[in-house]
Amino acid sequence: MARLKMQGCWSLVALLVVALILIQGVEGAKEKRKRPKKNTFIVNSAPINFSAPVSEAPALFTSTTYASVSAATPSATPPTTAFVPQSMLPQPTNWMNLVEPEAEVVGPLNGGGDTPLCANVVGLSAGQRKLCQLYLDHMPWVGRGARAGIAECQWQFRDHRWNCSTFQDASVMGPIHNIASREAAFTHAVGAAGVVHSVARACRDGSLSSCGCSRARRPRDLRRDWIWGGCGDNLEYGYKFTQGFVDVREREKTHKRGSREQGRQLMNLHNNEAGRRAVIKKTKVTCKCHGVSGSCSLITCWHQIAPFREIGDYLKDKYDGATEVRVNKRGRLQIKDPRFNMPTANDLLYLSESPNYCVKNLALGSMGTYGRPCNRTSHGLDGCNLLCCGRGYNTQKTTIRERCDCKFHWCCSVECRTCSRTLDIHTCK
């Protein structure tokens, strides 16, 4: 644990961790330092930002202790408001804005210095800008990860009223991020997951030379370390890097304890962590026997990263089961409804109800569902009834020509026939 040394810039992150310790108390910090340890962070250890007498294991909290906490201050929860003036909100920008200048960042790799690139990206916070300069070669991969996250978000929400639409500004996700809703929780998680996925992958194809050997048994000099015990998994590097880069923007600000801003900060940190853990949770372990004559007296195992779609599906499940929380006076999060189970570090949290996505409200960031195609026969969310919010739909008969009976040939060709068919397209009024 203590042996897992953070090097170089990690000391910067460590400073921020110290700041966090001041906010959250020593138990939380202990938990935090344990987390990057291989295998242990896969286990559902207690989330750090929960108000709880003991923060060791979630099983220790019973719903009764929780009920007593929230019963004591039932009226403290503010009523959910439908509209929050934008000026009050602290985060108009988003680091995911790195998606856009990605092409530029690939170019000059003059390693650190005060490159204008990092300064030009609007979405970055001060700490992130510093990390951007330090890890300039990581930025294309961070951008790629963010893009993958957004694409996954759009795929997962393709038949929801809110379809993860992006805006052409520094906020990327639009004003929707200002509301501490389930949707914001999902985007934070999927963005963090995208970066872990992308950085871990980049380590493995040799594009990032600074990926560390995660084993810290013999840390004096690396060469010996690598020869002595080999290098560990790069997933841990991806996890740590993302932890530093994504969480820094939440940690560099201090808010009044118990304020709504602080609650939002804790919520974002929690959801980022949930996203990172989703990548680790979805890895598969594969082993190979290579003992005498191929026997299993000697066996080596490794982690295999899951396709990002699988991680997206997992996070979507977590979105469906997200827990509503509120911030208490002590500056911790607690469950709003004590009947629900304690969320683990893998679960998503949100502070306020989602706005109405049926109608267009640009101030809120809702695009409305007008003009969205829907499925007339479906009873699910993509069904015309639900998607159009009861406004009804238009039907249009069209004939489309499409590829059919396709046969794929490695590597690069797909042989298809063209078929045409007539179908009804329904769009929301």
Phi-psi region of 167 (alpha: psi -120 to 50; beta: other; left: phi over 0): beta
Our finding on whether 408 is near another protein (CB under 8 A) is: yes
By CB under 8 A, residue 414 contacts another protein: yes
Tokens coding 235: 């997933």
Told to check if 406 binds another protein by CB under 8 A, we report yes
- CB 257: neighbour CB atoms within 10 A? 13
Closer to another protein at the Cβ: 59 or 292?
A: 292
* Residue 49 near residue 270, CB atoms below 8 Å: yes
CB of 245 to another protein, least distance (A): 18
Nearest approach, Cβ of residue 1 and another protein (Å)? 7
- Residues 343 and 335: beta-carbon distance below 8 Å: yes
Residue with tokens 């195992």: 301
CA quadruple 140, 142, 148, 151: dihedral sign: negative
Q: Decide whether 299 or 400 has the Cβ nearer to another protein.
A: 299
83 vs 302 by CB, closer to another protein: 302
Strands 333-335 and 323-327, by their bridges, are antiparallel
Edge-to-edge strands, sheet with 393-409: 373-374, 413-428, 393-409
Question: Are the beta carbons of 47 and 273 closer than 8 angstroms?
Answer: yes
Kindly state the smallest distance separating residue 102's Cβ from another protein, in Å. Answer: 13
Say whether residue 57 binds another protein (CB under 8 A). Answer: no
Assess contact for 231 and 222: CB atoms under 8 A.
no
Is 335 a residue that touches another protein (CB under 8 A)?
A: no
Site for another protein in 271-310 (CB under 8 A): 284, 286, 288, 290, 292-294, 296-304, 306-307, 309-310
Q: How many residues bind another protein (CB under 8 A)?
A: 57
Which region among 64-72, 202-210, 354-362, 389-397 touches another protein (by CB under 8 A)? 202-210
Residue from 407, 420, 422, 424 binding another protein (CB under 8 A): 407
CA distances from 421 to 394, 398, 400 (A): 20, 8, 6
Q: Does 213 bind another protein (CB under 8 A)?
A: yes
Specify the residue, 72 or 406, whose C-beta has the smaller distance to another protein.
406
Question: Which of 23, 48, 193, 203 is in the footprint of another protein by CB under 8 A?
Answer: 203
409, containing H or E segment: strand 393-409
The residue within the footprint of another protein, chosen from 75, 114, 217, 339 (CB under 8 A), is 217
Q: Which is closer to another protein, CB of 245 or CB of 308?
A: 308
Minimum distance of another protein from residue 357's CB (angstroms)? 25
Q: Residue 10, Cα to own-chain centre: how many angstroms?
A: 21
The three-class DSSP label of residue 336 is coil
Of 71, 75, 401, 410, the one binding another protein by CB under 8 A = 410
Per rule CB under 8 A, is residue 401 in the interface with another protein? no
Q: Could you say whether residue 133 binds another protein (CB under 8 A)? A: no
CB of 231 to another protein, least distance (A): 6
**According to the binding rule CB under 8 A, does residue 230 interact with another protein?**
yes
Helix (H) or strand (E) holding 188: helix 182-204
Binding flag, residue 154, another protein (CB under 8 A) = no
Collapsing DSSP to helix, strand or coil, 393 comes out as strand
Residue 83 makes CB contacts below 8 A (sequence gap 6+) with: 355, 363, 364
DSSP annotation of 341: P
- DSSP characters over 94-129: -GGGGGTTHHHHHS----SS--HHHHH-TT--HHHH
253 scored as a contact of another protein (CB under 8 A): no
- Residue numbers of the site for another protein (CB under 8 A)? 1, 7, 155, 201, 203-206, 209-213, 215, 217-218, 222-223, 226-234, 284, 286, 288, 290, 292-294, 296-304, 306-307, 309-310, 406-414, 416
